[in-house]
Structure 1
Amino acid sequence: MVRLQQRRTRLLAIAIFLACFLSYACYGRDSRDVVTWQVSSTTTTRAPVDQVLQSTEILLSEKIPKARHSKAVQDVLPSSKPTEILLQEKAPHVQNSKETETPLPRSKPSETLLPEKVPQVQLFRPTEIILPESLAKAPIATLSSKVTMPVHPTVYDLSTMPTMPPSSATNGSLTTAPSMRIPPMSLTPSNFTVPTCIGYEQLQMSHREPLSAGKRQFPYSRPLPECRTFNLSSMETLIERMNDTVKDPDLFRLFENSYPNTLDTMIKWRGYAVETDPVTMNETVTDQELTYVITGDIDAMWLRDSASQVNSYLPLLVASSESESLASLWRGLINIQARYIVISPYCHSFQPPAESGIPPTKNGAYHNNHPNPAYNPNLVFDCKWELDSLASFLQISTAYYQRTNDLAFFDRYSWVSAVEAAVDAAGAMRVGTYSKEGKVEKSAWTFTGWTNRGSETLTNDGLGNPTKENGMVRTAFRPSDDACIYQFLVPANMMWAKYLEEASFIMEKLDDAKAENLTTVMRDFAYGIRRGIDRDAIVHHRDFGDIFAYEVDGYGGQNLMDDGEKAHDMMQEEVNGQLQMVLDSTTGKGVVHESVNAWNEYDWSRAWFGWANGLLGELILKLAERDEAAGESGDRWFAQSFQ
């Protein structure tokens, strides 16, 4: 009996231990637990052992992945490359354990040394950090005032972790060696609360309160500030102001959810570029900012989409050298797009940069599509030649310059090389299908796809329908990713010509022989496109007179349709009707879908799609400006009800 009681006691003790361990290790704790630390560079007071991990020393060496230089991202740790983190116990009363392999959530196996009695969770308390010497020279004042580490297995917000951003000097760089020690920092816990950092699609399904006061009862679907991928104080100020402007509660909630959606959920990674010496293979962390922006529910970055998503925030863009500013995010996007264009100028969507440590996303269509030249699927997500993708790169470039007057940025990294690659790629696609002798010309890019849809491949062995050279640029696919019928896509050529001219004003100010030559080439290119449009793309319609065709081929073939990516200015009655339609087509989610069946509001695609949400925000802000100009006595859009 005694043995049985002892055995039961042991079993009960083991059961209690396992229950406690599993409730901690398997995230069974209160879902709102997060550790927030107050950072001080002068004291070394330690927190109680029962609240946090023991004081540790983290060694950051060449073996730490490139993602260690990240600024503010979601899912960096869960999807990092294999890392070796040496955690050496400093407290005398806790002994080091043997070397154990402890994979971080959704990451490849990592080699980690942890104290034997400490639960293996994602909370580390650094008290002494070894960093590269030049990185350590960054002023302590650049450290965040708080460190917030959510303990959720799928979403991590590192935006307020203490970082040592690189010098803002024009040619500054940070090397991985030699290393030096930084004085210990005290991390004193100030509270114990955890954000509900769930995935955004799950958040949408939760129908979170408070609901809007209108008949549609839209949920509040913004993540908590701790869980957002980028926090911008000017955005919050703007939303508060619009709450007083937009009287309809459902329309305001739609704006509140939609406009910040890209900042809230789609800034997948931010960090700094890493250069590798081709001889020694030593890595150098530069001060070149990088920003990787996903489209939403597809974990890849489109040139056009990411540019349009961020360009929606143009009213909030101001010059700033701060690492957590919108200007920094914008520079990072220009830099990463420049890198991609140099790599594959004919491709339109790309994988995360190597510095992020995020693994590439698998594209199920990769083996069915056959572009020529081929692409590396570890760098490129999908490859369809769409002229407006290159135009979008120039668009965000000129927008940044016009708002900030930051000319030095464009001469600092690879912007000039990217423009050159874009101009060369587009220029090669001005060649018509046939030579003067009637022979088929070799095309710089072709595409064939194994598909049962005609819109997913090109005719004539990947060339597309014939075109006659006229100064315009052939583009294989529309912005919708559908194949062009006639490859002189008029809106894309207009956009390319416009931003070629605008970007040439930046180029001409750069003190460089290549830039000087490019300035002339860009302006001549734009002139040739405009001349081709005037000659071949203006057609006479029996009801509307002279209009622009959507697509032409230079032979007289015309496609009169529209596949607009941006709405034109409309009369107030039409605007009201369209807003009403958008409000009634969200199926209660309170955000804008990518597309909706005009005959069935419940038949839609992509509830998590940043570009469409950004366009809604742009529209609301534009109408608010008109209301302000109209004054109290004029017709005001937002004084009315949309119930």
Structure 2
Amino acid sequence: MIYPSVESLQAEMQLQLQDTPHLAQTFARCFPNTLETTVRLLDDGTSFVFTGDIPAMWLRDSSAQVSPYLPLAAQDADVRRLLSGLIERQARYLLIDPYANAFNAEPDGSGHSGDRPSKGAWVWERKFELDSLCYPVSLLYRYWQATQDETVFSEAVQEMFSVILRLMRTEQRHHEDSSYTFERPDPLLPSDTLPHGGRGTPVTYTGMVWSGFRPSDDACTYGYLIPANMFAVVVLGQLAQMAREALGDAELASTALSLRDEIDQGIQTHGVVQHPLYGQIYAYETDGLGHHLLMDDANVPSLLSIPYLGYRPADDPLYSRTRRFILSSSNPYYFSGAYAAGVGSPHTPGGLIWPIALAMQGLTSTDRNEQQQLLNTLTATTAGTYYMHESFHPDEPSHFTRPWFAWANSLFGEFVLAARGALARAAVES
């Protein structure tokens, strides 16, 4: 399908980037990649957006993949059709199984087999990740803000709101109230399964919501994933606003705000630690029992992405100190080499850097020079493909994982668009 607003924006960007042909070509490849290769518009009016080289639709990835097209929805009916259809399909999936992270286009049983308990036919994988509840709400809110289209608040969407709130409430007291478990017999990596009979490591009540897995699909070391809970704080505020203004449901709004405040209190009470070099910073994970994991992961939500998520501004002192920690050798997943320096992930061992993290570093930076340097790094490390990859080796960019990873391509496009002002100023000054 041809999206007129996308073609128009691409043409505009090619003119603006004509003095940086490598950046222009990379943007031209990456920005429309999701639309050109991963979108299926279905006969029931919904949209299936798969992740790229895996034929399943992740709630997280699909939301992130279409993010750069949201500003175009107000003027382009075809973009609205894509986005509203995706929102509806996400809602229907969450009603099928709100604990699942990835789904099939049809109920054909595709995906991981042998996991305990067994998954349904619609489900590709049933790893509970708190961000999987957050991304659909965030996408819906941003779509509604861009279009003021209230037809998107279907019966399934409204029921999704209630399901999300109930599940978050349950997982505030995971070991007491939840029946969720996940085990993968003979996993390739220990992070593919949860210990203690699939229940995860011990936690105590903090007000935060438990998450079995990170947005990398790796098991949490400790059950309270701080950046995912930050994302939940933001989207619960968004849900409350939609409940009030679009649905006229004061009770739903009140429930969301009460839950939001409990989670935020938990973050501030249990998620902040004193670091010997950086002072008070946010931890990545905690269990409420006094244990904290100090690191950051490339996948979003991350601590690096706090301003992007909308939890705190980029100039917030606690975020600034946390950012300095993340972008240093104190973070065990910060790597550097001859071609790049940035955040990686235990999901890809071997000191590999993720373009998603480099783009997020740029999207959360207030330094024009840092943004320009990151754009240069991203375009110089595609190994001649002009596409982003899942990860690459900072000393040998031709060593990379996942040549077709639409989320990374979309986030790069979003970064370029966000940096347009800096690029324009740099061109004038030169």
Normalised TM-score (structure 1):
0.55
Distance 1:348 1:517 in 2: 28
Match of 2:28 in 1: 256
Kindly state the Cα deviation for residue 632 of structure 1 after the two structures are TM-superposed.
6.6
Q: Is the 8 A contact 1:235 1:260 kept in 2?
A: yes
Determine whether 1:459 maps to 2:198.
no
Kindly state the Cα deviation for residue 251 of structure 1 after the two structures are TM-superposed.
0.9
Structure 2 counterparts to residues 187-202 of structure 1, below 5 A:
none
Determine whether 1:266 maps to 2:14.
no
Distance 2:133 2:84 in 1: 17
Question: Rg bigger for which structure?
Answer: 1
SS of residue in 1 equivalent to 2:66: helix
Q: Deviations over 1:140-163 (max 9, x none)?
A: xxxxxxxxxxxxxxxxxxxxxxxx
Select the residue among 127, 143, 146 that pairs with 1:384.
127
Kindly state the Cα deviation for residue 430 of structure 1 after the two structures are TM-superposed.
0.5
Match of 2:105 in 1: 352
Select the residue among 89, 92, 110 that pairs with 1:362.
110
Match of 1:172 in 2: none
SS of residue in 2 equivalent to 1:429: helix
Q: Is the 8 A contact 2:170 2:177 kept in 1?
A: no
Select the residue among 559, 582, 585 that pairs with 2:378.
582
Determine whether 1:502 maps to 2:230.
no
Match of 2:140 in 1: 397
Q: For residues 562 and 351 of structure 1, do their structure 2 counterparts lie closer, same or farther at Cα, with a shift above 3 Å needed?
A: same
Select the residue among 424, 427, 430 that pairs with 2:172.
430
Determine whether 1:493 maps to 2:229.
yes
Match of 2:387 in 1: 591
Q: Which protein has greater RCO, CA pairs closer than 8 Å, 6+ apart?
A: 2
Determine whether 1:535 maps to 2:331.
no
Match of 1:328 in 2: 81
Distance 1:631 1:606 in 2: 33
Kindly state the Cα deviation for residue 511 of structure 1 after the two structures are TM-superposed.
4.9
Distance 2:194 2:390 in 1: 25
Distance 1:452 1:265 in 2: 29
Higher strand share: 1
Q: Deviations over 1:363-420 (max 9, x none)?
A: 2x311x214xx421x211111000001100101110011111122431x331110111
List 4+ stretches of structure 1 deviating above 6 A: none
The residue type paired with residue 312 of structure 1 is P
Match of 1:417 in 2: 159
Kindly state the Cα deviation for residue 581 of structure 1 after the two structures are TM-superposed.
2.6
Distance 2:134 2:428 in 1: 41
Distance 2:160 2:174 in 1: 25
Distance 2:216 2:283 in 1: 17
Distance 2:407 2:415 in 1: 13
Q: Deviations over 1:447-473 (max 9, x none)?
A: 111214211111111111111101100
Q: Is the 8 A contact 2:88 2:152 kept in 1?
A: no
Match of 1:231 in 2: 2
Distance 1:511 1:456 in 2: 39
Q: Number of paired residues?
A: 366
Structure 2 counterparts to residues 89-104 of structure 1, below 5 A:
none
Unaligned runs of 5+ in 2: 306-359
Select the residue among 245, 250, 269 that pairs with 2:16.
245
Q: Deviations over 1:531-551 (max 9, x none)?
A: 001101011111111111111
Match of 2:324 in 1: none
SS of residue in 2 equivalent to 1:448: coil
The residue type paired with residue 465 of structure 1 is T
Q: Is the 8 A contact 2:5 2:72 kept in 1?
A: yes
Select the residue among 236, 255, 260 that pairs with 1:526.
260
Q: Deviations over 1:298-355 (max 9, x none)?
A: 11100000011111212212166x4xx111111100100000001100001001146x
Kindly state the Cα deviation for residue 479 of structure 1 after the two structures are TM-superposed.
0.3
Q: For residues 578 and 516 of structure 1, do their structure 2 counterparts lie closer, same or farther at Cα, with a shift above 3 Å needed?
A: same
The residue type paired with residue 390 of structure 1 is L
RMSD, aligned CA: 1.9
Determine whether 1:297 maps to 2:41.
no
Higher helix share: 2
Distance 1:612 1:361 in 2: 27
Match of 2:411 in 1: 615
Select the residue among 280, 284, 309 that pairs with 1:546.
280
Q: For residues 590 and 361 of structure 1, do their structure 2 counterparts lie closer, same or farther at Cα, with a shift above 3 Å needed?
A: farther
The residue type paired with residue 313 of structure 1 is Y
Q: Is the 8 A contact 1:267 1:291 kept in 2?
A: yes
Q: Is the 8 A contact 2:171 2:177 kept in 1?
A: no
Distance 2:177 2:209 in 1: 15
Distance 2:227 2:264 in 1: 11
Identity %: 32
Distance 1:254 1:387 in 2: 32
Normalised TM-score (structure 2):
0.81
Larger mean Cα displacement after TM superposition, 566-575 or 599-608: 566-575
Match of 2:93 in 1: 340
Distance 1:593 1:547 in 2: 30
The residue type paired with residue 271 of structure 2 is A
Q: Deviations over 1:52-100 (max 9, x none)?
A: xxxxxxxxxxxxxxxxxxxxxxxxxxxxxxxxxxxxxxxxxxxxxxxxx
Distance 1:602 1:344 in 2: 39
The residue type paired with residue 242 of structure 1 is M
